[in-house]
Amino acid sequence: MQRISSENRPSTSPSQAQILWRCFGYLRPHWKITAGAYLMMVLIDAVAMINPQLIGWAIDHGLEADSASSTGSLTLAVGALLVLVLVKGLFTYFQGRWTEVASQNVAYDLRNELQRKITQLSFSFHDQSEAGDLLSRTIQDVERIRFLTGRAMFRVIEGSLLMLVTAVVMIVMNPLLGLMALLALPLLVVQSISFGRVFRPLSVVIQKQLATVTTRVEQNLRGARVVKTFAQEEAEIERFEAENRRWFDLSATAARLQAVNMPRLHLIANLSSVVILWYGGTLVINGQLTLGELVAFTTYMAQLVSPVRFLGMILPAISMAAASAERIFEILDTVPEVHEEPGAPELLERLAAEKRVCRGHIRFENVAFSYGRHASILKDITFDALPDQVVALLGPTGSGKTTVVNLIPRFYDPSAGRITLDGVDIREVTLNSLRAQIGIVLQETTLFAASIRENITFGRPDATQEEIEAAARDAQAHEFILQTQKGYDTPVGERGITLSGGQKQRIAIARALLTDPRILILDDATSSVDSETEHLIQLALERVMQARTTFVIAHRLSTVQRADLILVLDKGRIVASGKHADLLTASPLYQNIYNQQLKRGKG
C-alpha cells in the first residue's frame, strides 16, 4: 500500500543531507546562472568591505581645516562611495535576478514532475491520499524548496563569507578590539540555536493545527446540507471553536518566544557595540586608534552581526525545507502500483503483429483481489465476455461488482490470476493503449467545473458539434441541455452541484459514448435515471452496442435481464452465471432478486 505518512520523519534521519543534496540537484540544469549569481555575490561582498574603510578614511583624512588635500580626499572618498554603490547595485540586480530565475525554474520543474506523477499514480494511491495534502505538497512544500535553493542557500553562503571576511578585517585592523567584537558571535549563535530548537517543533505543531482548523471549515462546508439536516450547527461551532482555541493557545506561545528572540539578538549585538565604543574610545584616548578607525569598526560590527540574525531565521527554514523535500520526494518516488512493463507494446500494435484487430474479448482467469490489508475482496473470478456481448453484473451492495470492472482498465491489478483482452494479458501492453479501447462510466459521477460541452468532450477534445450532440442524444441528455440557460456552454458548477442526479449521470454517459470505445463499462450508470429515460438510453445503446462489448452493473433487473451473460456476485465470488431464463431456475439468489422486483409487482 502506498500510504503517505502525514507525520514528519525525525529530522535526524541520516538522509537529511542526501535529501538536501537531491534538492540542489535540481539546480544542475541551471548551473550557469547559479554560478553567475554566486560570482556576483563575491563582488558585492568585496564592495561591502570597502565602504566602511572609505567612511573611516574620509573622517581621518578629509576633515583637516583649510587644507586643499583634505577637500580632495573627501571628494575622492565620496565619489568612490557613489561609484561603488552603483557598481554594487548592478551586481545586486544580476545576482538577484539570476538567483530568482534559477530557483523559480527549480520550482517549475518540481511542480511539473509532481503533477505528472499525481495524474499517473494508481487509484489505490488516490484512495488513500487527500486532495488538500497533495495540493499543499505541490504548492507550499515546493515553495520551501524554491526558497532553499534560491535566497536561503544564497544568504547562508553570503552571510558566512561576509562574516568570515569581516572578522578577518577587524582582527587585522586591531587584533584586540577585533577579538572583543567577535565575542558577540558565540552568544548570538547560542541564542539562535536554542531558539530554533524550541521554535521549530512548535511551528510544525502550529502548522498542523492550522491545517486542522482549515479542514474543519472545509468539511463543514462540504457537508453543509448534512449539518443542516441534522441541526448540528451548534455542535459544529463548538468543534470549530475548540480547534480554533487550541490554535490560538499555540500561537500565543509562539508569539511569546518570537517576541523575545529578535530583540534579544539585537540586544547582544548592541551591547557588544557598546563594549567596542567604550574600549575603542579608551584606545582612541590613548592614541592607539584613530577616531575614523573606531567609526569604521562600529560599521563592521553591524556587518558582522547582521548575518547571524539572518542565519537564526534561515536555519530553521532549511530544516523545514528538508522536511518539505521529504514530502515531495515521497510522492515522486512512489512507484504506481499499476505500471507498464518497460518496453511494453501498444495493444493494437501487439495485435497487429499477429495480424489481428481488437475485438473486445475479455477473459478473467481465476482472478483474486484485495485492497491493501483488507481481506480478499474478489476470489476466483473466472468468466468470458465474448466480443459484442452484453455482460451484466448483479449482486448485493459491496459484493465486488465495481471492483471487478475496475480491473479491466487496470485501475487496480489483480493479486492473483490474469485478465486477457483478445488473448493478450492486459499487463503486457501500455496502459494508454488499453484504456483507449475502453469507455467507462464510473459509479460516482465526476464532472469538472467547466461547461457541459467541455465535460462531454473530455475524452475527445477534437469532437465536432454533431458528434457531441449525437452522443448527448444517445445518452438522452440533449433535450435537457438545450433547456439550460446557455445550452452546451452552461457551466455545471463545482462537482455539477446545480444539476439533478440523473442529469449528471447522463452527461457522464455521453462523455463515455463520445469516445466510441470497443469496450463499454456502465457501473450503475443509470441509478438516478428514471426507467423511461433509461429505456431510451438502452435503445440507443443497442443500436450502437452491436460493435462493442458492454459491461453493465445495475440493481434494476429491467436493466440487466436482456444481457447475454449475467454474473451474480456475492461476497466477491461468482455464485451463478448465465442468461436470465437459466438463472431463474438455477440461482436462488437471482430468483430472490427477481421476486423482489418483478413477481410481487405483478401480483
Applying CB under 5 A, the residues found at the interface with Mg ion are 402, 443, 500-501
Instruction: Return the number of other C-beta atoms located less than 10 Å from residue 501's C-beta.
Output: 12
**At its nearest, how many Å lie between other proteins and the CB of residue 302?**
9
- Span 376-395, contacts to ligand ATP by CB under 6 A: 377, 395
**Could you give the C-alpha distances from 456 to 69, 460, 512, in angstroms and in order?**
85, 8, 8
The answer to whether 228 contacts other proteins (rule: CB under 8 A) is yes
Tell me how far apart the terminal alpha carbons of the chain are, to the nearest angstrom: 51
Q: Which is nearer to ligand ATP, 105 or 403 (CB)?
A: 403
Helix (H, G, I), strand (E, B) or coil at 463: coil
- Measured N-to-C along each axis, helices 291-332 and 31-61 cross at an angle, to the nearest 10 degrees, of 170
Per-residue contact flags (x/-) with ligand ATP for residues 403 to 422, judged by CB under 6 A: x-------------------
Per-residue contact flags (x/-) with other proteins for residues 173 to 192, judged by CB under 8 A: --------------------
Please give the single-letter amino acid code of residue 72: G
User: Which range touches ligand ATP (CB under 6 A), out of 152-160, 446-454, 495-503, 538-546?
Assistant: 495-503
**At its nearest, how many Å lie between Mg ion and the CB of residue 107?**
40
**At its nearest, how many Å lie between ligand ATP and the CB of residue 345?**
30
Residue among 390, 406, 500 at smallest CA distance from 445: 500
| Nearest residue relative to ligand ATP (C-beta) | 502
User: Which range touches other proteins (CB under 8 A), out of 10-18, 154-162, 254-262, 341-349?
Assistant: 254-262
- Span 5-44, contacts to ligand ATP by CB under 6 A: none
| Grid cell in block for residue 182 | 567577535
Q: Which is nearer to ligand ATP, 18 or 415 (CB)?
A: 415
**At its nearest, how many Å lie between ligand ATP and the CB of residue 406?**
7
The answer to whether 401 contacts ligand ATP (rule: CB under 6 A) is yes
The answer to whether 345 contacts other proteins (rule: CB under 8 A) is no
The answer to whether 453 contacts ligand ATP (rule: CB under 6 A) is no
**At its nearest, how many Å lie between other proteins and the CB of residue 349?**
16
Angle (nearest 5°) at CA 203 between 199 and 204: 120
The answer to whether 566 contacts other proteins (rule: CB under 8 A) is no
The answer to whether 324 contacts other proteins (rule: CB under 8 A) is no
Give CA–CA dist 358/459, Å, rounded. Answer: 19
Q: Which is nearer to ligand ATP, 498 or 595 (CB)?
A: 498
User: Which range touches other proteins (CB under 8 A), out of 7-15, 188-196, 237-245, 378-386?
Assistant: 237-245
Phi, psi of 174 (to 5 degrees): -155, 100
Q: Which is nearer to Mg ion, 314 or 441 (CB)?
A: 441
The answer to whether 498 contacts ligand ATP (rule: CB under 6 A) is yes
Give CA–CA dist 270/305, Å, rounded. Answer: 10
Q: Which is nearer to other proteins, 243 or 384 (CB)?
A: 243
User: Which range touches ligand ATP (CB under 6 A), out of 144-152, 198-206, 330-338, 496-504?
Assistant: 496-504
Q: Which does 251 bind (CB under 5 to 8 A by kind): other proteins, ligand ATP, Mg ion, none?
A: other proteins
The answer to whether 127 contacts ligand ATP (rule: CB under 6 A) is yes
Please give the single-letter amino acid code of residue 491: P
DSSP-assigned letter for residue 296: H
Kindly provide the b/e burial profile for residues 215-239, where b requires at least 16 CB atoms within 10 angstroms of the residue's own CB. Answer: ebeeebeeeeeebeeeeeeeebeee
User: Which range touches other proteins (CB under 8 A), out of 156-164, 303-311, 465-473, 491-499?
Assistant: 491-499
**Could you give the C-alpha distances from 286 to 274, 277, 299, 506, in angstroms and in order?**
18, 14, 21, 95
Q: Which is nearer to other proteins, 233 or 425 (CB)?
A: 233
Instruction: Return the number of other C-beta atoms located less than 10 Å from residue 367's C-beta.
Output: 21
The owner of cell 483478445 is 422
- Span 55-114, contacts to other proteins by CB under 8 A: 55, 58-59, 62-67, 70-71, 74-75, 77-78, 81-82, 85-86, 88-90, 92-93, 95-97, 100-101, 104-105, 107-108, 111-112
Q: Which is nearer to ligand ATP, 401 or 511 (CB)?
A: 401
- Span 94-113, contacts to ligand ATP by CB under 6 A: none
Phi, psi of 393 (to 5 degrees): -115, 135
**Could you give the C-alpha distances from 113 to 3, 26, 177, 191, in angstroms and in order?**
20, 11, 54, 39
DSSP-assigned letter for residue 411: S
Give CA–CA dist 419/427, Å, rounded. Answer: 8
Give CA–CA dist 305/535, Å, rounded. Answer: 80
Kindly provide the b/e burial profile for residues 383-422, where b requires at least 16 CB atoms within 10 angstroms of the residue's own CB. Answer: bebeebbbbbbbbeeebbbbbbbbbbbbbbbbeebebbbb
**At its nearest, how many Å lie between ligand ATP and the CB of residue 30?**
41
Give CA–CA dist 484/478, Å, rounded. Answer: 10
The answer to whether 445 contacts ligand ATP (rule: CB under 6 A) is no
- Span 363-422, contacts to other proteins by CB under 8 A: 371, 373-375, 394-398, 402, 409, 411
Report the residue from 24, 248, 329, 371 that binds ligand ATP according to the rule CB under 6 A: 371
Q: Which is nearer to Mg ion, 415 or 500 (CB)?
A: 500
CA 506, distance to chain mean position in Å, is 31
Q: Are 70 and 59 contacting, i.e. CB atoms less than 8 angstroms apart?
A: no
The answer to whether 496 contacts ligand ATP (rule: CB under 6 A) is no
Q: Which does 379 bind (CB under 5 to 8 A by kind): other proteins, Mg ion, ligand ATP, none?
A: none
- Span 268-297, contacts to other proteins by CB under 8 A: 270-271, 274-275, 277-278, 281-282, 284-285, 291, 294-295
Q: Are 394 and 388 contacting, i.e. CB atoms less than 8 angstroms apart?
A: no
The answer to whether 333 contacts other proteins (rule: CB under 8 A) is no
Q: Are 478 and 469 contacting, i.e. CB atoms less than 8 angstroms apart?
A: yes
Q: Are 446 and 512 contacting, i.e. CB atoms less than 8 angstroms apart?
A: no
Report the residue from 318, 408, 424, 499 that binds ligand ATP according to the rule CB under 6 A: 499
The strand ranges marked E within 79-174 are none
The answer to whether 533 contacts ligand ATP (rule: CB under 6 A) is no
Helix (H, G, I), strand (E, B) or coil at 313: helix
User: Which range touches ligand ATP (CB under 6 A), out of 27-35, 66-74, 255-263, 501-509?
Assistant: 501-509
**Residues forming the site for ligand ATP (CB under 6 A):** 127, 371, 374, 377, 395, 397-403, 443, 498-503, 528
